[in-house]
Amino acid sequence: MTTEAVARPGAHRAAASLGLAALLALLAVTIARTAWVGDDAYITFRSVDNFLHGYGMRWNVAERVQSFTHPLWFFLLTPVVAIVGNPFVAALALSAVVSAIAIGLVIVPVWTRPWQAAFLLVAMVCSKAFTDYSTSGLENALSHALLAGLLWRVRTPAREPRPAAIAGLLVGLAALTRLDLILLAGPIGLASLRDLRRTVPAFALGLAPLAVWEIFSLIYYGVPFPNTAYAKLATAIPGDELWRQGVTFFLDSLQRDPVTLFVTAWAIGAMLIYGRGSRVPALAVVLYLIYIARIGGDFMSGRFFSAPFVVSLCLIARLPWPASVSGAVAPLAVAAALGLSAPKPTVFSGAAYTTHWNEIFLPSGIVDERGMYFQAQGWLSLSGPRTESAQKGRFVEKIRATKAVHPVAFPHDTVGLVGYLTGPDRQILDVFGLGDPLLARLPARTPWRIGHYTRDLPAGYYETVTSGRNQIADPKIASLYEVIREVTRGPIWSARRWRAIVALNTGQTDDWRVPR
Amino acid sequence: MVHPSTDTQRTLRTLGLALLAILLLRTAWVSDEAYLTLRSVEHAASGFGLRWNVSDRVQVYDHPLWMLVLLAGRLVTGDTYYTTIGISIAASLAAVWIVVRPAATDLIVVSAVAAAALSPLFLTFSTSGLEPPLLHVLVAAFVTAALAGRSPSTQAFLAGLLILTHWATVFLVAPVLLPLLRRSMRQAREVIALSGLPVLGWLLTAWWYYGTLGSNLQLANRTAGAMWRDRAAAGWSFVRDTAQFDPLLVGVCFIGVYLGFVMRGTAARIALGSGLAIGWAVLSGGSDMAGRHLTASFVVGAGLGVRYLSGAGTRTGLGALVAVLIFALMSPVSTLTAGANYGQSLASVGEMRDPRAVDYRATGLLRQSRLQRAPNHPDIDSARAAMVPGGAIVAGRVPGMVGFAAGPAVHVVDRRGRVDPLLARLPPAPGPRWPWRADRRLPEGYGEALPNGTPVEPALDQLTRDIRDLTRGSLVSFRRLTHLFRLPARVRSSVASSSYGTLNLPLDAVVTAPVAVPEGGVVVRLPAPRRVSRMTALMNAGYDYQVQFLNESNVVATVTSPRANWHDPGQASRELTVTPAATATAIRIRCGRGFDRCVLGQVALDD
């Protein structure tokens, strides 16, 4: 610190505040310029649309199936869509608000330490995963806010029931946003508890919303997990192939977005080596990263890294920051240098963002999902030649033609926007199984692509759906379908349906009687 | 003196490790040369023994300790590629951690990490599958132990591990170890035992098992036929090109030597060792990989720099950081922007190529996926048809990768003789070559006869059978044990007296354009017996020539033509007088062993 600065601490503070405000503005502008809505968000939009029109929380109105992975995001999105009308605008608006809360929760604890706050802001600006998934229409923004809130809460250990209950509530809400986040949030919340006899019951009480949803899910959908979990995790793909794909997911992120994993690695390393009180959150991040690798990652580049990235930012906010200018600036310079040396720096992303196809789509099957959809569904591109409405128009013609051929149901892949535009009067047989309860439980076809596990339609399945009579040729699959039909279409409280629920969840579906 | 760590320096150190981890992952690769070792490791892990081809006991690696570390990793994980990269990155991070730990101020931590992160060649050899990562961590530990005045046994033990990792580090450790020998007899015995016995143990084991004291790579290098001045010239080019490609690496090496002498005492001895190691790298011809043998000296330089700066002021530290940044900006490549497409436009400096750029597209970590596994080189695809059990492949550009992909059932040899015990003992084929890159002419019938046949050239018949005894015979047979002593000494005379490597030409072929002279020389056949009293020919000014006049197979006269000026790389006409005049049917011309420039042309004879 210079002599002048010591003599004029007020001026120093003002300059720091101005600098931080400028970085905050840069972050806001970057997120706005990269705002988009992905095709997968439209899977949720179709359920929201059906729900708002009185068909229930269903994707195909004929059956009770949870095709969205994020119940809490669904419940937040639904009223906004009801008010705004357009789910695209509603998702962007909600994402903006929730992301602002997340950023605030990360930054406010270090606002009085300008260099540290500046690092966090620069890291967020330069992280492609964070900026891409601060919007996207998916649940990531809400995950960010809840995890940042949890990290804020657990800065001091919970010795009383009330803070323990809040920690439990945040863990529960995070799990309600995306169930696998419990691996990340759970250990963090639990590690904050002290005086366990008093705090554990309160923590458990905080998990009540999650428990309520699980009970509802079991009663209404007949299964505890979303259909997407069955479609993506029960694929019968060998574990070593998934591990290799998971490693590829990490390598893809290193290539396209070095800042995200750099920040994550720094937080883990610093906390595990010197962290003392913060080792459990760091271990939770490690656990979550192992889980990501185990399931093969995702097809959207960097998507699953944004949540551990936010936790890592919160952990870095706890680090003692160097006082010397060189030490204080170094992390900032590193983050900026890595961010600017990325193949597509976030700060330069504009309306023309969509790179060449071979840069978007790699042979690994992992895509720059924003690159894929930005021209059609990016906020900056709305006035461009391929506007959302133009895109819709293009699909509407195709869907109209398809509907003319298929009066009841039709099979399709990439069912996001197509599913939303199809409306409630047709059942879609999603060959990736995300919205189809039978296909979700069948083994995936090989060769496979991550996140897009194609299923072959069983012989007689289409005829079964269109006629309402079970004509599936394979007796085992026919029996499985009979159970699923009872669970998803039978009267909710009938004894037969509850026997079917038990059979479906215990895997005893082979002996179910199939009416012929 | 080790300064106590402050919390904020810990923050910076972990930041540095995270940055380096990301950069190392983004630049991680495995070189073709490393695949020579990895195929042996794979065979050992599969129960075939530490061999390149499972039928021959041949040592194709120069780094025994690194090989053992890789083998241990492979046995634990079951994977070779990712294990190699994982161990390399862990070792390199540990090296940087050890170097940075004594830093007294934030500025020194930042400068040291910046030097490591911004040096392209340090990052390149922090993976690569070769031994530098292990050298880095051992050198860092050795320098730290020596500067901290740790017990002689600790220093000697680390020195032993270093030499076992790569024998040339003996130059690096000797100036530090030698003074320890003078203190007392007991300590001298301890130092010798700890530093020398592991090396001696390995040498004896390798000698008994493989039949040679050094590796097959060294044997092939020795028989490549380059003279020391040729090697020195190549070494000079190596340093020059490395400096052009990565000025930061060379700068830190030389500044480290300078700072060590300024600091005096142990630091000066370490600096001397570093200087000797650099000198060896130059005089041995360097490598075709820019920076290959200099990264250990880079670690020494960084370690000495951290110590020196810890006792200097802030301005000096700031100057060091600025110098690092300027040196880094001078490099034609950036470590920060290196990604999956690295090497697409091949970076080449002089004769030296950026080693990572050459192989990255085949083995780069960022290029791996579930469906695409390293090594993924086009030459492997083209060799795929020959990869049948019991078959043999003569690999071209990337023998390591082709051999690794071929698996144990396929016999693989390379033209440079690095993996074949016979070719390694043969002189190089005529044509351009460097000290570390000399192709062999495959003896007639050899490729077709592999893996069990013998070449049809009678001159190599005995040698082939002796080598087979050595590499395939029972380890305890008396015949083999005698070869352990006899074969290495016989190699050169056996080959030199054979017709292998001799260019046999009619006189017409050498009266105009010059031809390259192979090790066996050129035999010029005269159209008819002829009396010769004087001969003129175009020869290299910098080489000795020996001219023998033959009548049938008898040498009737020998004339030696000494070099005119060994600095002169050019060619000049020389006149040789034959006294007394002799009747000859052929003339054998041999050249002082050199590379690239040993020629013969414009031969004219007078009665």
Q: pLDDT tens for residues B153-185?
A: 999 999 999 999 999 999 999 999 999 988 888
- The CA distance from A245 to A250, in Å, is 9
Mean pLDDT, rounded, of chain A: 92
Above 80 in pLDDT, residue A333? yes
Q: Touching check for A324 and chain B: CB below 8 Å?
A: yes
Above 60 in pLDDT, residue B275? yes
- The CA distance from B51 to B48, in Å, is 7
pLDDT on residue B562:
82
Is residue A156 helix, strand or coil?
coil
Give B457 or B88, the one with higher predicted confidence: B88
- pTM, two decimals, is 0.88
- The model's confidence at residue A4, banded by pLDDT at 50, 70 and 90, is very low
Q: Per the CB < 8 Å rule, is B7 touching A241?
A: no
Q: Give the C-alpha distances (Å, rounded to integers) separating B471 from A279, A296, B220, B422, B492.
A: 54, 46, 16, 10, 18
Residue of A nearest to B336 (CA): A341
Reading phi first (left if > 0) and then psi (alpha if -120 to 50, else beta), residue B431 is in: left
CA distance A506 to chain B (A): 33
Cβ neighbourhood burial of A274 (10 Å; 0-12, 13-18, 19+): middle
Q: Touching check for A289 and chain B: CB below 8 Å?
A: no
pLDDT on residue B432:
54
pLDDT on residue B494:
46
From chain B residues 556-585, the ones with a CB under 8 A of any chain A CB are none
Give B397 or B345, the one with higher predicted confidence: B397
pLDDT on residue B433:
56
- The model's confidence at residue B382, banded by pLDDT at 50, 70 and 90, is confident
Above 50 in pLDDT, residue A358? yes
Q: Touching check for B100 and chain A: CB below 8 Å?
A: no
Cβ neighbourhood burial of A467 (10 Å; 0-12, 13-18, 19+): exposed
Q: Touching check for B315 and chain A: CB below 8 Å?
A: no
Cβ neighbourhood burial of A345 (10 Å; 0-12, 13-18, 19+): middle
Cβ neighbourhood burial of B124 (10 Å; 0-12, 13-18, 19+): buried
ipTM of the complex: 0.92
CA distance A287 to chain B (A): 18
Q: Per the CB < 8 Å rule, is A270 touching B105?
A: no
DSSP assignment string, A99-135: HHHHHHHHHGGGTTSHHHHHHHHHHHHH-HHHHHHTS
Q: How many CB pairs under 8 A join A and B?
A: 107
Which of A43-57, A192-206, B184-198, B210-224 shows the lowest mean pLDDT across its residues? B210-224
- The model's confidence at residue A516, banded by pLDDT at 50, 70 and 90, is low
- The CA distance from B574 to A341, in Å, is 60
In this structure, what token pair is assigned to residue B14? 């972990």
- pLDDT tens for A78-87 read 999 999 999 9
CA distance A123 to chain B (A): 13
How many Cβ atoms are within 10 Å of A112's Cβ, its own excluded?
Answer: 11
- For tokens 């860092």, the residue is B140
pLDDT on residue A1:
41
Which of A255-259, B529-533, B569-573 is the most confident on average? A255-259
In this structure, what token pair is assigned to residue B292? 């290959």
- pLDDT tens for B17-33 read 999 999 999 999 999 99
CA distance A297 to chain B (A): 12
CA distance A181 to chain B (A): 24
- The answer to whether the beta carbons of residues A172 and A158 sit under 8 Å apart is no
**Residue B607: CB partners within 8 Å, gap ≥ 6?**
B530, B531, B532, B533, B581
Q: Touching check for B118 and chain A: CB below 8 Å?
A: no
| Alpha-carbon torsion (B84, B86, B91, B92), positive or negative | positive
Give which of B22, B316, B329, B342 to mutate to test A binding, by max A Cβ within 10 Å.
B22
Which of A483-492, B241-250, B373-382, B504-513 shows the lowest mean pLDDT across its residues? B504-513
- Mean pLDDT over A473-486 rounds to 95
- The CA distance from B172 to B135, in Å, is 11
- pLDDT tens for B467-488 read 888 999 999 888 888 888 877 6
- The CA distance from B353 to B288, in Å, is 7
Of A322, A331, A363, the CB nearest to B372: A363
- The answer to whether the beta carbons of residues A454 and A432 sit under 8 Å apart is yes
Give B173 or B522, the one with higher predicted confidence: B173
Bond from prior residue into A363 cis (ω within 30 degrees of 0)? no
Q: Are strands B522-540 and B392-395 parallel, antiparallel or unpaired?
A: unpaired
Q: Per the CB < 8 Å rule, is A327 touching B107?
A: yes
- The model's confidence at residue A371, banded by pLDDT at 50, 70 and 90, is very high
Which of B58-67, B303-312, B339-348, B499-508 is the most confident on average? B58-67
CA distance A135 to chain B (A): 26
DSSP assignment string, B553-594: TEEEEEEEE--S-TT--SEEEEEEEEEEEEEEEEEEEEE-S-
In this structure, what token pair is assigned to residue B195? 């530093």
In this structure, what token pair is assigned to residue B329? 């900006």
Reading phi first (left if > 0) and then psi (alpha if -120 to 50, else beta), residue B149 is in: left
- The CA distance from A183 to B485, in Å, is 64
**Residue A354: CB partners within 8 Å, gap ≥ 6?**
A360, A371, A372, A374, A375
Which of A14-23, A161-170, A422-431, B448-457 shows the lowest mean pLDDT across its residues? B448-457
Q: Per the CB < 8 Å rule, is A338 touching B19?
A: yes
Above 50 in pLDDT, residue B53? yes
CA distance A245 to chain B (A): 5
**Residue B319: CB partners within 8 Å, gap ≥ 6?**
none
CA-based nearest residue to A234, from A413, A66, A434 = A434
The 3 state secondary structure assigned to B24-73 is HHHHCCECHHHHHHHHHHHHHHCCCCCCCCCCCCCCCCCCHHHHHHHHHH
Q: Touching check for B345 and chain A: CB below 8 Å?
A: no
Q: Touching check for A343 and chain B: CB below 8 Å?
A: yes
- The CA distance from B122 to B356, in Å, is 11
CA-based nearest residue to B10, from A410, A3, A45, A321 = A321
Alpha carbon of residue B232 to chain centroid:
14
Of B11, B22, B321, the CB nearest to A270: B11
Q: Touching check for B371 and chain A: CB below 8 Å?
A: yes
pLDDT on residue B496:
45
**Angle at the Cα of A31 from the Cα atoms of B25 and A126, rounded to 5 degrees:** 25
In this structure, what token pair is assigned to residue A304? 């699953």
- The answer to whether the beta carbons of residues A383 and A350 sit under 8 Å apart is no
List the helix and strand counts (H, then E) for chain B.
22, 11
- The answer to whether the beta carbons of residues B499 and B588 sit under 8 Å apart is no
- The CA distance from A18 to B417, in Å, is 67
Above 50 in pLDDT, residue B89? yes
Percent with pLDDT over 70 in chain A = 96
Q: Per the CB < 8 Å rule, is B14 touching A320?
A: no
- The CA distance from A379 to A446, in Å, is 36
- Mean pLDDT over A42-46 rounds to 96
- The CA distance from B130 to B287, in Å, is 13
Residue of A nearest to B23 (CA): A258
pLDDT on residue A388:
62
CA distance A336 to chain B (A): 11
Q: Touching check for B336 and chain A: CB below 8 Å?
A: yes
Give which of A245, A260, A262 to mutate to test B binding, by max B Cβ within 10 Å.
A262
Residue type, A363: P
Q: Touching check for A364 and chain B: CB below 8 Å?
A: yes
Q: Are strands B503-506 and B522-540 parallel, antiparallel or unpaired?
A: parallel
Q: How many residues does chain A have?
A: 516
- pLDDT tens for B172-219 read 999 999 999 888 888 899 999 999 999 999 999 999 999 988 899 988
Q: Touching check for B316 and chain A: CB below 8 Å?
A: no
Q: Per the CB < 8 Å rule, is A241 touching B370?
A: yes
Q: Touching check for B496 and chain A: CB below 8 Å?
A: no
Residue of A nearest to B335 (CA): A341
pLDDT on residue A385:
46
Above 50 in pLDDT, residue A212? yes
- The model's confidence at residue B593, banded by pLDDT at 50, 70 and 90, is low
- The CA distance from B362 to B375, in Å, is 5
Q: Touching check for A334 and chain B: CB below 8 Å?
A: yes
Alpha carbon of residue B571 to chain centroid:
30
- The model's confidence at residue B232, banded by pLDDT at 50, 70 and 90, is confident
Q: Per the CB < 8 Å rule, is B22 touching A323?
A: no
Q: Per the CB < 8 Å rule, is A327 touching B109?
A: yes
Above 70 in pLDDT, residue A389? no
Q: Touching check for A382 and chain B: CB below 8 Å?
A: no
Q: Which residues of chain B does A319 touch, with a Cβ-Cβ cutoff of 8 Å?
A: 11
Q: Where are the alpha helices (DSSP H) in B223-342?
A: 228-245, 247-263, 266-283, 295-310, 314-330
Residue B484: phi and psi, rounded to 5, are -55, -35
Q: Touching check for A247 and chain B: CB below 8 Å?
A: yes
Percent with pLDDT over 90 in chain B = 55
**Angle at the Cα of B447 from the Cα atoms of B443 and B451, rounded to 5 degrees:** 115
pLDDT on residue B440:
81
- The CA distance from A308 to A289, in Å, is 8
Bond from prior residue into B451 cis (ω within 30 degrees of 0)? yes
Of A269, A322, A324, the CB nearest to B17: A269
Alpha carbon of residue B59 to chain centroid:
14
CA distance B369 to chain A (A): 5
Mean pLDDT, rounded, of chain B: 87
Q: Touching check for A446 and chain B: CB below 8 Å?
A: no
